């Protein structure tokens, strides 16, 4: 039986991945910063990846490490040097873990990166694996540096590297901007997004988990970079409408010309928020579908409705 080690096992993606691995019969271990909600059947190890070595026992007989742990986007970062903080966690701690995994004889190392490595938005063509990287923020820079240093570290070794760059991952327990959007839609607050005609690729938590499991065993995944998404692009207004539909409420969208919205957010010091809300970011998933014969298990519109429905049910409990 394959033994899989998941870092960040207590996080949004980590919990779902651990549960799916257990359900599919994998022996599963999880690294967490602190013991919290646990998945039955997972062997947990509390560890601070920055300051501590990974317990040798946790890597013994492990065939694959799925590295999800990291420092993600921080809306109001209080660090004096945010880039250094991102590098410490997302790059240096990753390399330390990879070295230990290599010494322990792990066969494959899956690194969860970010579509931000490619850039903050797309124009005429979607991002694919051949697109030149243009990391646009400290978080994305640290992820790209980790990718490049992992390639150097593992070149010519027995441990195979797989890099996965997802766009925004959504689901009921998603953190960050998606959680805020759920709350806004549920509140009935008017949102100035009706005039926005963008196209964004998203990926559901179910599809992320499905793809990661595909990467664990598929021989063709070795040494590859993959961009993944649900496979259908939606506008920000469509996202709001589908969430509201699932909540059984009307989406309160108002029309504000894009230049005015952009100028207003710039005055508030939230220029990047305009790109996130109103810019397009499209992902070409052809490589994942053809090389690994992977197909998404959920589609965007129906899954957004489902998330909205679950959120409304949870709030009413």
Per-10-residue mean pLDDT, the chain, length 317: 92 97 97 88 95 92 96 65 89 97 97 96 94 93 97 97 97 92 93 90 98 97 98 95 95 86 79 82 97 96 97 84
Question: Is 130 in contact with 178 (CB distance < 8 Å)?
Answer: no
Question: Is 205 in contact with 310 (CB distance < 8 Å)?
Answer: no
Residue spans of alpha helices (H) in the chain = 12-23, 56-59, 82-86, 93-103, 138-154, 176-187, 205-217, 236-246, 258-267, 271-278, 286-291, 300-316
Phi-psi region of 248 (alpha: psi -120 to 50; beta: other; left: phi over 0): left
pLDDT at 277 (0 to 100): 81
Q: Report the predicted TM-score, pTM, of the whole model to 2 decimal places.
A: 0.94
**Cβ-based neighbour number of residue 54 at 10 Å:** 20
pLDDT at 54 (0 to 100): 92
pLDDT at 2 (0 to 100): 84
pLDDT digits (tens, 9 = 90+) for 162-202: 999 999 999 999 998 899 999 999 999 999 888 888 999 99
Coil, strand or helix at 88: helix
Is 139 noted as a catalytic residue in this protein? Answer: yes
pLDDT at 230 (0 to 100): 97
Rounded Cα distance between 288 and 266, Å, is: 37
pLDDT at 76 (0 to 100): 56
- Which residues have C-beta within 8 Å of that of residue 180, sequence separation ≥ 6? none
> Nearest 5°: phi and psi at 3?
-110, 125
Question: Is 274 in contact with 262 (CB distance < 8 Å)?
Answer: yes
Domains of the chain: 3-165 (3.40.50.720)
Q: Record the tokens describing residue 114, joined without a space.
A: 């970010």
pLDDT at 267 (0 to 100): 80
* Active-site option among 26, 44, 45, 139: 139
What secondary structure does DSSP assign to 271-313, as a single string?
HHHHHHHHS-B-B--HHHHHHS----SS-HHHHHHHHHHHHHH
What secondary structure does DSSP assign to 90-106, as a single string?
IIIHHHHHHHHHHHTT-
């Amino acid at each position: 039986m394959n033994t899989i080690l998941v870092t960040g096992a207590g996080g949004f993606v980590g919990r779902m991945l651990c549960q799916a691995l257990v359900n599919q019969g994998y022996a599963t271990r999880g690294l967490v910063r602190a013991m919290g909600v646990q998945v039955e059947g997972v062997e947990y190890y509390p560890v601070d990846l920055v300051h501590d070595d990974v317990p040798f026992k946790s890597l013994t007989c492990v065939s694959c490490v799925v590295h999800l742990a990291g420092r993600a986007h921080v809306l109001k970062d209080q660090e004096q040097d945010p880039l250094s903080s991102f590098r410490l966690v997302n790059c240096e701690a990753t390399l330390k873990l990879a070295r230990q995994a290599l010494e322990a004889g792990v066969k494959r190392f899956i690194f969860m990166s970010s579509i931000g490595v490619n850039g903050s938005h797309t124009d005429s063509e979607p991002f694919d694996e051949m697109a030149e990287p243009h990391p646009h923020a400290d978080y994305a820079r640290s992820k790209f540096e980790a990718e490049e240093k992992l390639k150097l570290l593992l070149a010519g070794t027995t441990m195979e590297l797989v890099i996965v760059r997802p766009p925004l991952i959504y689901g009921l327990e998603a953190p960050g901007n998606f959680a805020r959007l759920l709350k806004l839609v549920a509140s009935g607050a008017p949102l100035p997004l009706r005039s926005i005609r963008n196209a964004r690729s998203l990926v559901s938590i179910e599809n992320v988990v499905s793809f990661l499991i595909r990467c664990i065993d598929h021989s063709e995944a070795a040494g590859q970079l993959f961009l993944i998404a649900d496979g259908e692009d939606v506008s920000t207004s469509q996202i709001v409408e589908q969430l509201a539909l699932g909540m059984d409420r009307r989406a309160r969208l108002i029309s504000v010309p894009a230049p005015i919205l952009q100028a207003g957010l710039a005055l508030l010091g939230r220029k990047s928020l305009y790109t996130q809300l109103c810019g397009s970011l499209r992902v070409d998933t052809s490589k994942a579908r053809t090389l690994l014969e992977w197909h998404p298990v959920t589609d965007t519109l129906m899954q957004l409705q489902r998330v909205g429905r679950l959120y409304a049910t949870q709030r009413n409990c």
